Amino acid sequence: MKLVSLRGLIVIPFVLLAALAGTTIYLFSNVTLSNVSDNVGLHYIREVENRVNDRVTAFMAPLSILAELNRDAITHHPEWLDNLDLLAGRFYEQAIPYPYVTFISLATAADGRYVNSTRAPFGTTSHHVATNYTSRPGQLEAFEYDPIHYVGRRIESEPVYENYDPRTRPFYLDAVRKGDTAWSRITPYYGYQSLGVGLSVPIYDTDRQLLAVMATSVALVALDSYLQSIELVDGAFVFLAEPNGDLIAASSNDPLYTNVDGVVQRVSLVSHQNPILREAAQQLEPGIHRIEVAGERYLYNIRPIELPYGQTWLIGVMIPDAYYQNMLSDFSEGLLVMVAMIFISIALVGSLIARFIGVPIMRLNNAVNADSLRQIGALPNSLSHVREIHSLGQGLKGMASELSDILQNLEQKVAQRTSQLKDENEVLLEQSTTDELTGLYNRRGFNVLSEQALQRAEHDHESFALVLCDIDHFKHVNDSLGHSVGDKALHAVAKVLKGHFRSQDMIARYGGEEFMLVLVGISQQELMERLQNVRQTLSNKPILQEMPITLSFGMTYLASIQDMSLADLIHDVDSKLYQAKNTGRDKIIF
Ligand SMILES: Nc1nc2c(ncn2[C@@H]2O[C@H](COP(=O)(O)OP(=O)(O)OP(=O)(O)O)[C@@H](O)[C@H]2O)c(=O)[nH]1
């Protein structure tokens, strides 16, 4: 089973969570920002377009209003055509509210009479009327407006045109050709720095006979001034153009037409000196476009303006991406900081949780796994501020303290019990190696100690002697005096033997009435002396009054151990004892 550390379990998910949250917020916000920025750009474009659209629509409205107003009036009052002076006054007064309306004119179809209200494109200073019938037919002259007679004093400074037949003029021909209201081409006014456009209306009688053509025109310089007056963001453009790309007005202060040697040519977007407008000319379909010029990207929209009588103009607005990207860059930076803060906060919370939970639990874990109750006892009382962990720590400390006491008691008891067992073992060992009747070692005692004695002698280069002695005719003692007397005799013999040997010498009851002596580091002479003394004592101080007790001895003596096994030695003393028994008893054979 793969194990995971608690700290890792807390920190890693938190860090992953923080990274996930941060990335999600960042990506989501970036997408949102991107949408917002596009929307900001579009919103800006729409705003400009709406303003231009409203302005153009409002600016151009008088043309159709005046055209329709006069067409309807004259259609219903064809008799007015008999006195064109009345119309001179009417046209002059109609032009007053509209400073950019340059001409309101009328030409009769039958005889080519012509009357107009004329004004320079830039204001009211030279507003007057003109006719081609006042002095003599066909002579076009300018007159001051007279509020009573309408056609007042002739203006000497204005030129006079002979044989002026309006029916040959484009405004007249356009209307007649179309048979309905017609727009004129946009052309510059002669002698004025302004483009102009006109609307001409054929007026018919009830039999659809052409009575007259009424026309009106407006100077477009105001639209150009208006576009230049709009406060645009840096690098932005607004233009008003015809669908073929010919410019009508633009926010840049460039000429809208050229006049080379009297040849007038409109400036078109397609051949404009500004590369951005040239690029814009490639996409004149209504809608949103993206263009790029010299590494600068633009959001660009074309919106058609539908004027009356089938005329369409285009409004183009371009704004550089940098505009709204700059606007939003501060927000993006703020967003980055915010994302970083969220990331750091979540990671910090994870670390704090890891610290408040993970660290104390790790300390608990280390203490518990240290194989020492003392480590648990040494844990601080304020292990953690988390209640459950604090409680766990306290509980473990309590358990450790209790266990420590129990162990201490247990150790004491074990020590006591061990000591007792040791004593008991010693007693048992002694009992198991001691002959009950004589108090000497028994056969088991002999087996254990004789081997040790042999090794000690070999190690210390000491002499080693083995003596086996047997009570003579002991069966006779038992048989004649009884077993209890026999036992008493055995006990007495043992006592005699003990009395004649050193404390380090081992004396064992080897068989029923057989005794084995093991002696290390004793001279053969001394040994012999001691054995003789035993015989002497038994002889001098009889154990039993009824009969003497004698012993037969088999003895083997080694001044140094030379590859002799104990079994060999025992066998040797046993044969010698047998020899003593067979040769009269009460003797020592060695
Ligand atoms: N009372 C008493 N008799 C014992 C004890 N152990 C052995 N005996 C007796 O010792 C006698 C030994 O007899 P034997 O082996 O014939 O030897 P013996 O009569 O001493 O003859 P030799 O050894 O040849 O001199 C037996 O009668 C045993 O019953 C004991 O613990 N108490």
| Number of neighbouring beta carbons within 10 Å of residue 432 | 12
Q: What is the ipTM of this complex?
A: 0.97
CA distances from 500 to 439, 507, 516 (A): 15, 11, 14
Residue 512 Cβ inside 6 Å of ligand 1? The answer reads: yes
Task: State CA 114 to chain mean position distance.
Answer: 83
SS3 string, 101-138, reads EEEEEEEECCCCCEEEEECCCCCCCCCEEEECCCCCCC
- Which residue do the tokens 């007495």 mark? 492
Are the C-beta atoms of residues 216 and 66 closer than 8 Å to each other? yes
Position in ligand 1 atom list of the atom nearest CA 471:
20
Using a 10 angstrom Cβ sphere, with 0-12 exposed, 13-18 middle and 19 or more buried, the burial of residue 170 is middle
562 phi, psi to nearest 5 deg: -130, 85
Instruction: Indicate the DSSP class of residue 147.
Output: T
Residue 578 Cβ inside 6 Å of ligand 1? The answer reads: no
**Structural domains in the chain?**
55-321 (3.30.450.20), 370-425 (no CATH), 435-589 (3.30.70.270)
Are the C-beta atoms of residues 453 and 520 closer than 8 Å to each other? yes
Position in ligand 1 atom list of the atom nearest CA 482:
1
Q: Report the pLDDT value the prediction gives residue 327, as an integer from 0 to 100.
A: 65
Å from CA of 489 to ligand 1 middle: 11
pTM (2 d.p.)? 0.56
Å from CA of 475 to ligand 1 middle: 4
Are the C-beta atoms of residues 517 and 497 closer than 8 Å to each other? yes
How far is 119 from 105, CA to CA, in rounded Å?
11
Å from CA of 472 to ligand 1 middle: 8
How far is 26 from 189, CA to CA, in rounded Å?
58
Residue 472 Cβ inside 6 Å of ligand 1? The answer reads: yes
Strand, helix or coil at 272? coil
Which residues make beta-bridge pairs with 589? 554
How far is 241 from 281, CA to CA, in rounded Å?
10
Residue 398 Cβ inside 6 Å of ligand 1? The answer reads: no
What would the two tokens of residue 345 be? Answer: 């906060």
Cα 41–Cα 43–Cα 44 angle in degrees, nearest 5: 65
What is the DSSP annotation of 319-358?
Answer: EEHHHHHHHHHHHHHHHHHHHHHHHHHHHHHHHHHIIIII
Residue 51 Cβ inside 6 Å of ligand 1? The answer reads: no
pLDDT in tens, the chain (590 residues): 677 777 677 777 777 877 787 788 778 777 776 777 778 888 889 999 999 999 999 999 999 999 999 999 999 999 999 999 999 999 999 999 998 999 999 999 999 999 999 998 875 568 999 999 999 999 999 999 999 999 999 999 999 999 999 999 999 999 999 999 999 999 998 777 889 999 999 999 999 999 999 999 999 999 999 999 999 988 999 999 999 999 999 998 889 998 888 888 999 999 999 999 999 999 999 999 999 999 999 999 999 999 999 999 999 999 998 877 766 677 777 777 887 887 788 778 877 877 778 778 888 888 888 877 788 888 888 878 778 888 888 888 888 888 888 888 999 999 999 999 999 988 888 889 999 999 999 999 999 899 999 999 999 999 999 999 999 999 999 999 999 999 999 999 999 999 999 999 999 999 999 999 999 999 999 999 999 999 999 999 999 999 999 999 999 999 988 777 999 999 999 999 999 999 999 999 99
| Number of neighbouring beta carbons within 10 Å of residue 21 | 15
Strand, helix or coil at 385? coil
Q: Report the pLDDT value the prediction gives residue 522, as an integer from 0 to 100.
A: 96
What is the DSSP annotation of 476-488?
Answer: HHHHHH-HHHHHH
Nearest Cα neighbor of 237 from 299, 294, 284, 186 is 299
How far is 20 from 343, CA to CA, in rounded Å?
9
Of all helices (H) and strands (E), which one includes residue 97?
none
| Number of neighbouring beta carbons within 10 Å of residue 552 | 25
Position in ligand 1 atom list of the atom nearest CA 485:
1
Residue 482 Cβ inside 6 Å of ligand 1? The answer reads: no
